């Protein structure tokens, strides 16, 4: 039995209703969650492992609502599109993420895609989206934010944050702008350690805070506070933003005037737990005292619950503060009209989730986001030719039978990374030689890869590197995270460029900063996402089938400045792109 199940004190239900939104394992709700909801638990957070199929999610949210009785629960999820998706956990999001939207820089499209995301969530019975990310990207090596940001320009991020908020909330789903007061200028992943925002007050007011101000003016329902140290706002070394009264109450509530729900980032993140190793439950108490209304994903649910209960009993947490948080949550539920939309229409899911017009919108944005940063004028657009050859390219390097070689770099070549790109490439060049490499085999395969590259007329190097918050890697100083290629894969890519830079197109399938480590690159395209739609767009751009008109939402040191982008009209490569021909003729 968990602390949530004791039922020994009437204050328990009130406390639960006020502050707790935990996760749970599996694709169906366990008994303890259902019992806790029946007693007043505020809600739950869903993750990828909770998602199997639309019908299953709809059934799950119906069960959660049924358990809550008249009190409709908050059902929260992280659904940012692009590289951060829960609903499309297995297949990848049909919508590119924020960096791609920043490259397109059309706020009407940002509003539309977030409305589409919201509509999908609402149809599934999910009413609270922990998005959008409002961080201004200041650190090229930011592992926690990266392509989750709209870009490195404050005005751009502000405009698109407000558009995302209005799009989501127009679909009947609460938006939650994050990670206050800004996480984009940090090189430490707060999932793994304490990240520090080192800017002074002038920078904070001019760069980090305006997107949150825009979101508040747009009527955002909720703001998430980060576990980052901000010395300019709170010099206490034992405080991060989420446990700082000066930041949560003083800045967000009093100075910025935010009156909506304030949510902590996940309380199980090392950026917070490392400060509370002796008493993990105190993290919840200090976060609530700082001014947060909802405590997300406690590291130890029982310890956090008991610590909060004791703080209420001892009046360390005042009844007035608890009442204020309860009222905020009730008002938010009322604003979403949860009592009017309790039933999910399971029979209509196939027509409500993933509407064709929404999927077409996602593909359009992916197309428009493709940004050509470098072009030597000798390679693009690629030509089509060849006949199909059998074989499993990830098992061995096939003898080259065609003029095109594609080398696909990823963290693990056993994953789906690159499979859609390969299929798209083979539709145009059936005999293309596609080689998968990852850090485990990059060194061993180096000789074979370089021989294939030397014989090829054209080479595609597709690099699947995206920021993955919480990804654990072993670094020189212990556990860390990184957005760059591993040493082995990076060394192989450098050798490919040493041998064949002139005839190689490098595709940054995610992290646009890749090129700063490879200044010899002559042909460089950015997708800002590894979503399937972005893979399709990348291949279409390589063969001149779509206009290329994206512009960098960030500056790449020693490569290009923010706003750069070589525009190219759609063109069919001489020698014939049959795929492009069929698209344009409608056959």
Which residues are marked as active site?
Answer: 265
Contact 260, 222 (CB under 8 A): yes
362: left (phi over 0), alpha (psi -120 to 50) or beta: alpha
3-state secondary structure of 507: strand
Helix (H) or strand (E) run with residue 202 in it: helix 201-203
Q: How far is Cα 263 from Cα 130, in angstroms, rounded to an integer?
A: 9
The β-bridge partners of 524 are 374, 506
Please name which of 58, 7, 81 lies closest in space to residue 466, comparing C-alpha atoms: 81
Please name which of 444, 525, 461 lies closest in space to residue 498, comparing C-alpha atoms: 461
Contact 168, 131 (CB under 8 A): yes
Contact 259, 285 (CB under 8 A): no
**Burial class, 110, CB count within 10 angstroms (exposed 0-12 / middle 13-18 / buried 19+):** buried
Contact 190, 271 (CB under 8 A): yes
**Burial class, 450, CB count within 10 angstroms (exposed 0-12 / middle 13-18 / buried 19+):** middle
Tokens of 115: 């409305």
How many C-beta neighbours within 10 Å does residue 321 have?
Answer: 16
């Amino acid at each position: 039995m968990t602390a949530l199940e004791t039922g020994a004190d009437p204050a328990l239900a009130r406390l639960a209703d006020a502050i707790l939104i935990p996760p749970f394992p599996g694709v169906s709700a366990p008994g303890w969650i259902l019992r806790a909801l029946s007693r007043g638990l505020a809600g739950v957070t869903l993750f990828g492992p909770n998602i199997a199929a639309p019908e299953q999610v709809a059934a799950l949210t119906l069960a959660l609502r049924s358990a809550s009785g008249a009190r409709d629960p908050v059902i929260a999820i992280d659904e940012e599109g692009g590289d951060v998706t829960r609903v499309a956990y297995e297949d990848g999001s049909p919508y590119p993420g924020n960096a791609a939207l920043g490259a397109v820089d059309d706020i009407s499209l940002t509003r539309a895609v977030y409305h589409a995301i919201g509509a999908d969530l609402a149809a599934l019975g999910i009413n609270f989206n922990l998005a959008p990310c409002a961080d201004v990207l200041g650190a090229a090596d930011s592992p926690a934010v990266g392509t989750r940001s709209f870009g490195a320009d404050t005005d751009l991020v502000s405009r698109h944050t407000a558009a995302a908020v209005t799009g989501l909330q127009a679909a009947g789903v609460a938006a939650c702008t994050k990670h206050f007061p800004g996480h984009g200028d940090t090189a430490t992943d707060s999932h793994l350690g304490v990240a520090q925002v080192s800017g002074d007050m002038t920078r904070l007011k001019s760069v980090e805070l305006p997107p949150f101000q825009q979101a508040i003016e747009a009527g955002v329902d909720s703001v998430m506070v980060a576990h980052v140290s901000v010395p300019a706002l709170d010099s206490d070394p034992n405080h991060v933003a989420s446990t700082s009264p000066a930041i949560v109450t003083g800045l967000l509530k009093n100075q910025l005037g935010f009156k909506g729900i304030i949510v902590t980032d996940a309380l199980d993140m090392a950026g917070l737990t490392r400060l509370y190793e002796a008493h993990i439950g105190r993290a919840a108490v200090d976060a609530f005292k700082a001014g947060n209304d909802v405590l997300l994903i406690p590291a130890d649910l029982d310890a956090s619950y008991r610590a909060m209960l004791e703080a209420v009993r001892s009046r360390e947490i005042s009844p007035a503060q608890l009442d204020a948080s309860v009222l905020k949550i009730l008002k938010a539920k009322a604003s979403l009209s949860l009592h009017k939309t309790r039933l999910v229409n399971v029979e209509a899911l196939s027509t409500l989730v993933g509407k064709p017009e929404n999927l077409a919108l996602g593909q359009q944005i992916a197309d428009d986001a493709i940004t050509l940063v470098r072009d030597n004028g000798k390679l693009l657009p690629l030509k089509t030719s060849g006949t199909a050859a059998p074989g499993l390219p990830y098992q061995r390097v096939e003898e080259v039978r065609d003029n095109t070689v594609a080398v696909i770099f990823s963290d693990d070549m056993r994953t789906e990374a690159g499979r859609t790109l390969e299929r798209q490439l083979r539709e145009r060049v059936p005999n293309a030689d596609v080689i998968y490499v990852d850090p485990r085999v990059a060194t061993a395969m180096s000789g074979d890869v370089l021989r294939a590259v030397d014989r090829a007329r054209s080479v595609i190097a597709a690099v699947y590197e995206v920021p993955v918050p919480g990804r654990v890697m072993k670094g020189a100083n212990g556990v860390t995270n990184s957005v760059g290629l591993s040493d082995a894969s990076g060394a192989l890519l450098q050798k490919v460029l040493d041998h064949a830079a002139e005839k190689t197109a490098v595709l940054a399938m995610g992290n646009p900063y890749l090129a700063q480590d490879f200044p010899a690159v002559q042909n460089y395209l950015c997708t800002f996402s590894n979503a399937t739609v972005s893979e399709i767009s990348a291949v279409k751009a390589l063969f001149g089938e779509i206009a290329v008109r994206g512009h960098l939402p960030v500056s790449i040191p020693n490569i290009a400045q923010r706003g750069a982008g070589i525009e190219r009209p759609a063109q069919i490569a001489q020698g014939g792109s049959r795929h492009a021909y069929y698209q344009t003729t409608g056959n």
